[in-house]
A and B are shown apart, each in its own frame.
Chain A
Amino acid sequence: MKIAVCIKRVADSETRVKVAADGKSLDDAGVKFILNPYDEFAVEEALQRKEKAGSGEVVVLALGGATSQETIRTALAMGADRGVLLQTDAIPADGFVTAQAITAELKAGGPWDLVLFGKMAIDDYNSQVGPMVAELLDLPCVTAVSHLTIEGGTATAEREIEGAVEVVQCQVPAVITTDKGINEPRYPALKGIMAAKKKPLEVKPVSLGGGAIEVLGMVPPAARKEGRIVGEGAAAVPELVKLLREEAKVL
């Protein structure tokens, strides 16, 4: 069982967002960075599949700056076997550029029994690199999987759609992107953290093209119009209903 897990270093969602001097990106001074939470599900899924198979290799792959090595070490501390960093100055705004770079590395390092991604990164909300890589590798792909079984070369996956759950099948090897619910990611134990320091982590500088998405600027969202406290307790309900009807016009 040889599994690739593609991960990303992201700003923690608790972070206060300040726009950098370039007016286009996050000012990362004082920002806490973490392994993208959806990628934790992917790492955990890979580890469980390898453990179930009894043998194999889990390789984590990240694209990003030198600091992404820390993030790879986190996945290694969870139990992944080795890491590869495609080192770039900046993560491209165009997910297709990222997908092409990851595809090239996966092709060189493959073949894989399974390629896993988180369903999206919590910083850019792109939710696209996984299925793009699948198209480029010409592998079947199921996205946003909240339950997965693999038996006899057939993957059966559940994904939440509006008001229902879709049960999807494909053959493996496949690309799967993971959603909450698929498993409970483990915390790295001290022993794992120590072991991770000695695990192989290969750094490969890559240079990327521009792509088709050009960032013009990043701004804070327009502040919501100042709200108001209508009142206290059930006594405020008639006034609330009146405002919803006459002022907000939503009833």
Chain B
Amino acid sequence: MTTVLAVCEQRDGALRKVSSEVVTGARRIADALGAEVEALVLGSGPATGADQLGGFGADRVVTLTGDGFGTYAPEGYAKAVADRAKGGQAVAAAVVCAASAQGRDLAPRIAARLGTGLAADVTDVTVEGGALIAIRPVYAGKALLKVKLTGKPAVLSLRPNVFTPVQRPKAGTASTVAANAPAGRVTVKEIKAAEAGALDVAEAPIVISGGRGLKEPANFKILEDLAHAFGGRAAVGASRAVVDAGWRPHADQVGQTGKTVSPTLYVAVGISGAIQHLAGMRTSKVIVAINKDKDAPIFKVADYGVVGDLFEIVPALTAAVKSHA
């Protein structure tokens, strides 16, 4: 039986949430092709949480180990996955990665090693007549490209937070295989973590973003208060204008020259909604806009808008969220 490989992600020996999304996407493809899902975890040993992957539809969980695989080893990981994709009884039907920071680096290398193309940042995938059909946003999300993947294997990366993990229990048998791949010439020396426990805007289920309307950097405190009211599920983002002004770090920027986010709830506070910003958040499931200008473009994409003074509205929202928590 042919295989769909789901390339999972771990950091510090713990599986990252995006892995369950990748396995969910791989399961969908495998069901349509009559294939099995093999979840690949690369690391120095089995990762915490890998035993959960059977729940999302992995028939097998294979940990590929190697010297220097504890942290991301771009060349070693790429070789190990590419070897696995062509090394079984048959070439894998598809290799599914996450379009995360790591996946954006890794997936092109895997595709190149397999001598084929990559459909990157995919937001939907179906199988028609045995071929993978993927949808991917282009032109700052103003158009969707529908592409057919004709590569053997097909290689694709999935936009994080779009493929909601679905429980599809399979055997999830676990094994560990030593990859015949040196870590390679590119090595991670250090991971400088942000504030402990801080969620990244690209991964948080709730994102509260602020723009020029906040008037000065210290006022982001009211957004942080609102984020805290959601009890560790929310991250604070920022528009390009306030990042360029030095109010907030680039890591928090949502938009074309920042991060693309698809949270369950996106709250835009004092953000007018330039196209570059919309490019980074328009696939959010629910969008709330708070702005004093009722004609601001952000209201065109918002599901719910509140017009008025954000310095009154946001604290009231924080209090309401807290009282319901």
Q: Which residues of A contact B (CB under 8 A)?
A: 11, 13-17, 19, 26, 37-38, 93-97, 99, 122-132, 134-136, 140-144, 146, 156, 158-171, 180-181, 211-221, 224-225, 227-234, 236-238, 240-241, 243-245, 248, 250-251
Complex A-B: 19 CB contacts under 8 Å = A19-B143, A95-B108, A128-B108, A135-B78, A160-B251, A161-B101, A161-B102, A162-B200, A165-B192, A166-B101, A166-B191, A168-B187, A180-B257, A213-B150, A220-B144, A224-B282, A228-B304, A230-B304, A234-B316
Are B189's CB and A156's CB within 8 A? yes
Are B142's CB and A221's CB within 8 A? yes
Are A162's CB and B101's CB within 8 A? yes
Q: Among the listed A94, A95, A142, A158, which residue makes an inter-chain contact with B186, where contact means beta carbons less than 8 Å apart?
A: A142
Interface size class of B (residues with CB under 8 A): 35 or more
Q: Among the listed B75, B150, B189, which residue makes an inter-chain contact with A214, where contact means beta carbons less than 8 Å apart?
A: B150
By DSSP majority rule, is chain B's interface helix, strand, loop, or mixed? mixed
Q: Among the listed A17, A125, A167, which residue makes an inter-chain contact with B188, where contact means beta carbons less than 8 Å apart?
A: A167
Q: Among the listed B101, B108, B115, which residue makes an inter-chain contact with A159, where contact means beta carbons less than 8 Å apart?
A: B101
Q: Which residues of B contact A (CB under 8 A)?
A: 16, 72, 74-75, 78, 100-102, 104-105, 107-109, 111-113, 115-121, 133, 136-151, 154, 184-194, 198-200, 202-203, 206, 250-251, 256-258, 264-265, 275-276, 279, 282, 285-288, 294, 299-309, 312-313, 315-317, 320-321, 324
Among residues of A, the one whose C-beta sits closest to the C-beta of B192 is A165
Q: Which residues of A contact B264 (CB under 8 A)?
A: 250
Q: Among the listed B116, B146, B306, which residue makes an inter-chain contact with A229, where contact means beta carbons less than 8 Å apart?
A: B306
- CA of A135 to CA of B250, assembled, Å: 29
Known: A156-B189, A216-B146, A229-B299. A143 touches B141 (CB 8 A): no
B139, B187, B321, most chain A CB atoms within 10 A: B139
